[in-house]
Amino acid sequence: MAKTKSKYVCQNCGYETAGYLGKCPECGAWASFVEEVTSFSEKSVNADLPDNNPPMKLSQIEMNSEIRVTTGISEFDRVLGGGIVQGSLVLIAGDPGIGKSTILLQTAGSLCNNNKKVLYISAEESASQIKLRAERLGVKSDNLYIYPQTNFELIKKHIESMQPDLVVVDSIQAIYTSVIQSSAGSVSQIRECCNALMGIAKTNNISVIVIGHVTKEGNIAGPKVLEHMVDTVIQFEGDKYKTYRILRSIKNRFGNTSEVGIFEMSGKGLKEVVNPSELFIKEYNQTQTPGSTIIVTSEGTRPLLVEIQALVGTTPYPAPRRIANGVDVGRVLQILAVLEKRIGLNLSKQDVYVNVIGGIDVNEPAADLGIALAIITCVRDVVFDSHTAIVGEIGLSGEIRAVNHIDKRINEAQKLGFKRIIIPEANEIQEKFDGIEIIKVRRIIEAITRAVSK
Ligand code: TYD
Ligand code: MG
């Protein structure tokens, strides 16, 4: 006879307790506990697990290089580290409506054209909805199987009998296993299903891609546990109101992290953007106003030119506002503090808005100098030279600190037609550059003189 056991699980972080708690001691969330009942049979659940991997000596282990299957979508391959590793479990997370189902259906279609068998488990949409999307994307292959199902046991049965090359689970929050009695989408359900999928992937050597939704705060919904379990976590970002989308790898057991792939959403699905810098600074030259600069940021190993805008105005409030879009507001506050202390720019009666154009997030300190110069040019009401790009981190004493990948950044600026680039003095350049003037600066005041006097 099956036994049952009940526990309370925090839906935010997965913390478990025997009784109800109002506040989670682990993550501090309030009223996040939900009772979950597990039933298990008398015989041990693990008894029938195949045991084909006994412990062995390091010297006994044969190294077989991982087999990668290219998806045929090169921006996606780049994020994965060169293709999907056979037998790996990949999580793609993103806001609703960002295009997760779209990219995976496209990937499935592309793999099927390469004679791979793909099983697409649609737990959220009906088969005809998928068909409609497939028509729009021009996906029509007989190697693609669509299976609208939410029950994990049935899904497992079909994966094992079909033995496809790739399984797509859309989405992990919508499937449930009968082993656990809590509703689909709860932490225990997600954890159990993900664990079981991992087992299927590893024992049958089938690659599995699962879709996961993110919460309003931008975390992968419910459990952090999900992130720990899978081999690769890819975040799908973008501005819902703009057409481009960014795939970013945040964990990868088989490749580089923080690699990005850039796409544009069109009427016929997601299209790869081969030259993203062009896209992000497309409108720069036409709309030149004080308070706008171009920085060269580095996403993974890839340099990207991005426009930063700042707006400074008298505040009607006792406490001035600092609003940052696409950059960390803490970073902006630090830059403002340095500007006040080191060059005497007092903005305590002014609102400051900083915006990164294009819906991309710039999280590296190398953007500091660009942000500072955008603020300064706005305050002084001068237009920044449109042929100059900027990189550099600002230290607390007003010094400009070195950044990584400097050669790649200079290269990218030159490729996009920039005539000058302001970089930190401390950076050593390996390559020789012709046709772009490299201005090295040591302190913030120097950067201002060089930039504004042009
Ligand atoms: P979808 O893949 O359903 O998002 P998710 O699975 O992440 O929730 O895509 C959602 C949006 O993309 C939807 O608003 C419609 C739009 N879209 C296009 O603009 N072009 C297309 O070819 C497709 C398929 C979708
Ligand atoms: Mg979807």
Token pair of 390 as six digits: 């900027």
Low-confidence ranges of the chain (pLDDT < 50): 454
CA 101 to ligand 1 center in whole angstroms: 7
The reported pLDDT for the residue numbered 102 is 94
Separation between Cα atoms, residue 198 and residue 183, nearest integer Å: 21
Ligand 1 pocket, 122 CB below 6 A?
A: no
Q: Tell which residue, 183, 167, 165, has the closest CA to residue 175.
A: 183
CA 238 to ligand 1 center in whole angstroms: 13
363 Cβ contact partners less than 8 Å away, ≥ 6 residues apart: 327, 328
Ligand 1 pocket, 240 CB below 6 A?
A: no
Ligand 1 pocket, 313 CB below 6 A?
A: no
Ligand 1 pocket, 241 CB below 6 A?
A: no
The reported pLDDT for the residue numbered 224 is 66
DSSP 361-394: ---SGGGHHHHHHHHHHHHHT-PPPTTEEE--EE
The reported pLDDT for the residue numbered 223 is 52
Separation between Cα atoms, residue 94 and residue 100, nearest integer Å: 7
The reported pLDDT for the residue numbered 286 is 61
Structure-derived torsion over alpha carbons of residues 91, 96, 97, 98, reported in degrees to the nearest 10: -50
Test site for ligand 1: of 102, 105, 241, most ligand atoms within 8 A of the Cβ: 102
Token pair of 188 as six digits: 């225990």
The reported pLDDT for the residue numbered 44 is 54
- The third-level CATH classification (topology) of the domain covering 66-274 is Rossmann fold (3.40.50)
Q: Helix crossing, 329-343 with 444-452: angle to 10°? A: 90
CA 250 to ligand 2 center in whole angstroms: 21
Domain 279-451 has CATH 3.30.230.10: yes
The reported pLDDT for the residue numbered 131 is 94
Domain boundaries, the chain: 2-41, 66-274, 279-451
| 146, 131 contact by CB (below 8 A) | yes
The reported pLDDT for the residue numbered 31 is 84
CA 229 to ligand 2 center in whole angstroms: 22
Ligand 1 pocket, 98 CB below 6 A?
A: yes
The reported pLDDT for the residue numbered 431 is 86
| Residue that the structure tokens 């009427």 belong to | 267
pTM of the model: 0.76
